[in-house]
Amino acid sequence: MLVADGTIALWWNRQRWRPGDPLRDALASVYRERVPDLAARHPGFPGLVGTVPAPGPVDQLAACPDFGPVTRSDFPWPEHYSPARYCELLRTQSDHRMLPAADLARLLDGVAAALEDAGGITVDYVAELSVARRR
């Protein structure tokens, strides 16, 4: 579908937790306690599941003989969330949306309480961009 000499761009926004962040530990505890099945599927990354790198498509692009070298750029950006706003963000995540309503409510109550104690949360994101030109 891409014309010769055309460019393909693949990008993701990834969450980056700061090492040793006590809020991460508090949120992970809420997930383990209130939705252990969800926590077990994504260990170490409470909340947004987009934090686990998905290099598959980029690796496939790099290995494809139809494309030249892949160039990667990272663009870090922070976003501060109030407890209510962060819970609304979590409601948009497909694995959260699929939880039974009572489980989601219990989870979000626990997340909101942990974030209230911390005055909200600042999430460090990195927009990862991979670009290659078609030969």
Tell me the pLDDT tens digit for each residue of 16-37: 877 778 888 889 899 999 999 8
What digits encode the pLDDT tens for the residues 117-132? Answer: 899 999 899 999 999 9
Measured distance CA(2)–CA(134) in Å, rounded? 7
Beta strand 121-133 pairing with 71-81? antiparallel
What is the residue extent of each domain of the chain?
7-133
- pLDDT at position 50: 42
In the chain, pLDDT over 90 holds for what percent of residues?
Answer: 59
- pLDDT at position 84: 97
More confident: 9 or 21:
9
- What pTM did the predictor assign? 0.75
Measured distance CA(15)–CA(9) in Å, rounded? 20
Q: What is the largest CA-CA distance in the chain?
A: 55
Measured distance CA(26)–CA(35) in Å, rounded? 14
The yes-or-no verdict on residue 86 having pLDDT over 90 is: yes
